[in-house]
Structure 1
Amino acid sequence: MREDTICALATAAVESGIGIIRVSGPDAVEIVSKLVRSKSGRAVDISESHRIRYGFLYDGEELLDEVLILTMLAPRSYTGEHTVEIDCHGGVLMMRKILEAVVRAGARLAEPGEFTKRAFLNGRIDLSEAEAVGDLITAENENALKASVRQLRGSVSREIKAYRAQILEDDAFIEAGLDDPEHIQLDGFTEKLKAHVEAISEGLRRLIASADDGRRLREGIRTVILGKPNAGKSSLLNALVGSDRAIVTDIAGTTRDTLEEHINLKGVSLTIVDTAGIRSTEDTVEKIGVERALKAAQDADLLIYVVDASVPLDASDEKIMKELGDRKCIVLMNKSDLQPVLTEEELEKKTHRPVLSISAKQETGMDALEEAIHRMFFKEGLHFNDQVIITNERHKYCLMEAEKALEEVLHSISMGMPEDFYTIDLMRAYEELGHILGEQVSEDLVNEIFSKFCMGK
């Protein structure tokens, strides 16, 4: 890690009430001290930690702004280094001029994510907690925010550290028994080890299983609306979004391409994709739209198949439903405000899918649809007080590799292999779990993770 002092704008580079410039490193206090004076022109002592000082910030002899200075001395700061925050007025030009003055006084501009990277390298947070900071900033819904806060507070780290501690304890006992068999007996320890490994494996599998929920919390549920022309797909999109986002007419085939919108549903993000009506057509443009609709369906987490309840099902509806296979799908009987010729029971028998009756035009049945979607993906609900949810694909991969290593331990035990075989896979699991926390990870990986952060964080 470079031992210099860095600075960046910690607030957005837009006009606002206040702006904050963050300075961190061994010379942070000295650099900012050069710039701040009292009203009478004397130097302002900003060396006391966790105190706010009032003053005026100068660039040479040019008065720039009236400011507040917050000093946080190492190690009691976000980065673990001496850190000074300059609170100024939030004009874009003003913030830029103050930042330039700080650079001229001896700091350099920070790279994206460098403050959090320094916090990790200084041991203030582990890598999973650092990644949670990035997730916290980019969270687009309430539940993703809650999951990020729990991870930042160490929910993932605590569980991983507990598993690693047990693995290390078991490995140390085996190693000691192999080195000193006269005083440390391994007889009978195999059953105890097996119980420990099975318990840890079960915990890892639970975390791995939570990753699907975690991905949906971060990325949202990709939901594709399918159906024949004029079934009411675009009206459904508009009803869910709450605005006339898609063009709606009585002319079949109005929608020629996919159209995406994002909504927040019970604390979870949904990316809703409206598609062209599926039918055989000679129209070249419409044919491309149908192909794109079918491709969008392949990449979806959820399919909503819309049928016009005022007309009977035909062979093409049944053909499309069969082609969807076992994909998660909700069938909507739209146009319930008209005289329906279909019943929910009849449609459920034919489609083997959950069926809801709605009127997209009248916006009735939307609450039931939202509840059905949430229940389909989060059957047990999301209990953030006692549930650890993995939201990071890197963590999921490490957990899967650790679980594989522990399965090898159990296999070795079942085959009656010597104890020294156990230690190899035990330590492999230990190291894989350590990668989640940032132990023994490559510099390239660390740089890649923090490069995705915004400037000033």
Structure 2
Amino acid sequence: MSDTIAAISTAIGEAGIGIVRMSGKASINIANKLFKGKKIEKLTNGENRKLIYGHIIDLENNEIIDEVLIAYMKAPYTYTREDMVEIYCHGGIISVKKILELVLKNGSRLAEPGEFTKRAFLNGRLDLAQSEAVIDMIRAKTDKSFQVSLDQLEGSLSDKVRKIREILLEMIAHIEASIDFPDDDVEDVAYEELEKKAKLVENEINKLLKTSDRGKILRDGLNTVILGKPNVGKSSLLNAILRENRAIVTNIPGTTRDIIEEYVNIDGIPLKIVDTAGIRTTEDLVEKIGVDKAREMVDKADLIIAVFDASDDITEEDYQIIDIIKKKRSIVLLNKSDLPSEYDENYLKKLLPDKEIIVTSIIKGLGIDRLEQVIKDMFYKGNIDVESDVIITNVRHKNQLLKAKKNIEEGLESIISNIPLDCIEVDIKSCWENLGEISGDTIGEDILDKIFSEFCIGK
């Protein structure tokens, strides 16, 4: 990491401000060459960590590139724990691009995706779980998902994992002591103590794993599929939840032929709402593809909102939908309640006894508030998942916890069976190592590269 990296850290496009940042040993010297202050000639004549006003100059022709504010920050008190420079110029494509080209031409190289945060990790400022929280904060879709990411950045998950690993380390030390000083009485105590601690570790891992479904929803959104036969009001429902006319609505069955996806925030719960083609048998090739896609989306759904037409008799398509949702987490809407009813609501309740049935008139806005309340109740009361002070939002973390869970279960089984201590130690060490991959204490370079490749270049 002896080289100096540079990148644009703001989104490309029109904006009030653009930021070019550098990190590395040469960053301050490069900025010193290119910056000319209004009151301070050289950047380093100004104070560390203070903004200085002036211009960025192209040294080849002495041309002013832009009017800027610039700050240099001396290691180790920076994001990367290296010397850093941040140049605040006018937003837009041209200014930031020209400044980036200048700093690259004068001794830096273009940063790889996530390389600033990777350096923060490698230099010990952040552990791996905290580093991954940075990208989650950037991608957060609601206040709650942002708060979960912020807690992780502050070390909530890392602290929990570290405490579990400390128990495992005590177990390893206990095992090694028993092996080094073989004494029957000591060994009996060792097995008893190991069983107690293994059960504690297993319990703590299970607590974290129980939060993973809710964590996935907070991070990626509750994958919600609107399902129904054609012309029951699915697209109208999407528009009503979004409070905008996102989908085309007509009285012609089969209008929606493709998948429409939108995000909406319901009291901190990010919903990824998917409007699908109406479920029916059709000879129209394009519509048939849309129906097939709808069935595929159902398999991936966290929640299904099934819409039925109260103004029409129950049909074969309705029965198909009822069969689909019987074993799925779902809410039922009996729509078009403003029209004369032809639907037997009690019969529907018999077919779907465990489902919440809401009578709606989407076109008049009736029942939408109730639908949103039911979704909130499902989420916060635990039907979708449980409350916890630490929430697992990352698939990689969940996978490592599952591996650690298997290790500790096998270790516990060996302890109860009085298997020799050196065999038990293998499982305990594997559990300790798998948990260490969450914080980055035990992880390979290839996994690191994959994780940070998902970041944007300027972060």
- With the length of structure 1 as denominator, give the TM-score of the two structures: 0.92
Residue in structure 2 matched with residue 119 of structure 1 by the alignment: 120
Match of 2:330 in 1: 329
In the TM superposition, what is the alpha-carbon distance from 1:397 to its structure 2 partner? 0.6
Displacement of 1:425 in angstroms is 0.8
The 1-side partners of 2:39 and 2:273 are apart by 61
Q: Which moved more, 1:186-195 or 1:422-431?
A: 186-195
Q: Distance in 2 between matches of 1:454 and 1:215?
A: 21
Q: Which amino acid aligns with 2:10?
A: T
Task: Note the 1:199-348 alignment, pairs <5 A.
Answer: 199-314=200-315, 316-342=317-343, 344-348=345-349
Aligned partners of 2:214 and 2:386 also within 8 Å:
no
Aligned mates of 2:324, 2:12 — CA distance in 1:
50
State the secondary structure of the residue aligned to 1:16.
coil
The one-letter amino acid paired with 1:395 is H
Partner of 2:424: 422
- Measure the CA separation in 2 of the matches of 1:184 and 1:110: 59
Question: What residue in structure 2 maps to residue 18 of structure 1?
Answer: 17
- Which deviates the most, 238-247 or 275-284? 275-284
Q: Which moved more, 1:255-264 or 1:325-334?
A: 255-264
Q: Does 1:360 align with 2:362?
A: yes
Is 1:63 aligned to residue 64 of structure 2? yes
**Pairwise CA distance, 1:311:** 3.0
d(CA) in 2 for partners of 1:195, 1:455 = 47
Q: Which of 425-434 and 342-351 deviates more?
A: 342-351
Query: What is the alpha-carbon distance in structure 2 between the residues aligned to residue 275 and residue 66 of structure 1?
Result: 51
Please tell me whether the aligned partners of residues 44 and 55 of structure 1 are also in contact (alpha carbons under 8 angstroms): no
Q: Which amino acid aligns with 1:66?
A: E
Residues 1:50 and 2:52 aligned together: no
The answer to whether the Cα contact below 8 Å between 2:209 and 2:398 also exists between their aligned partners in 1 is: yes
SS at match of 1:21: strand
Query: Contact 1:207–1:390 (CA<8 Å) still a contact in 2?
Result: yes
Unaligned stretches of 5+ residues in structure 1: none
Question: Between the two proteins, what is the percent identity of the paired residues?
Answer: 46
Instruction: Show CA shifts across 1:203-261 (max 9, x none).
Output: 11121121111111122122222222322222222212222333323333333333333
User: How far 1:341 moved relative to its partner?
Assistant: 4.2
> 2:415 maps to which residue?
413
The Cα of 1:20 is off from its aligned counterpart by: 1.9
**Residues 40 and 154 of structure 1: is their aligned pair in 2 closer, same or farther, counting only changes over 3 Å?**
closer
RMSD between aligned residues = 2.5
Deviates more, 1:149-158 or 1:188-197: 188-197
Shift of 1:345: 4.5
| Counterpart check, 1:107 vs 2:108 | yes
Q: Deviations over 1:332-365 (max 9, x none)?
A: 1101222334465443222222101111111111
Letter in 1 for 2:422: D
The more displaced of 248-257 and 227-236 is: 248-257
C-alpha distance in 2 between matches for 1:247 and 1:445 = 44
CA contact (8 A) 2:213 2:385 kept: no
Shift of 1:432: 0.2
3-state SS of paired residue (2:188): coil
